[in-house]
Amino acid sequence: MQVAVSGQLSLGIKLIEWVRNGRDLDSFPEGIEDDEGIILAYLVIIDRKVIYLYEGTPIPIIFEDRYFASGSGSNFALAAMEAGKTAEEAVLIASKYDVYTGMGVDVLPC
């Protein structure tokens, strides 16, 4: 299983801890959405070639596509991965063409 977060890092850490503690529906972290319903952090889990996206609730959106990207540069990143680039390379490419993508890429060991 691989886990990734996007958005506010402190909330992302809470989401990772939620995964480590078994993903209990009743213990999903609070504060993932602001008062206007804007999601401040996303959680992505890849398990057995299925992608689970958590957007503010403990119920995931399930993707069975080969690649996944989110955010404003996602179309650029998806195209780059389809062309054979790694996820890290895809984010770097997306940051060249999308003004809201960037500030570097952090890749952590699985």
Low-confidence ranges of the chain (pLDDT < 50): none
DSSP assignment letter at 60: P
Predicted confidence at residue 54, as pLDDT, reads 95
- Is the distance from CB of 3 to CB of 18 less than 8 angstroms? no
| Identity of the residue numbered 104 | G
Predicted confidence at residue 11, as pLDDT, reads 94
The domain segmentation of the chain, as residue ranges, is: 2-63, 67-99
Query: Global pTM?
Result: 0.74
- Over the stretch 58-83, which tens digit does the pLDDT of each residue have? 999 999 888 888 888 999 999 999 99
Predicted confidence at residue 18, as pLDDT, reads 96
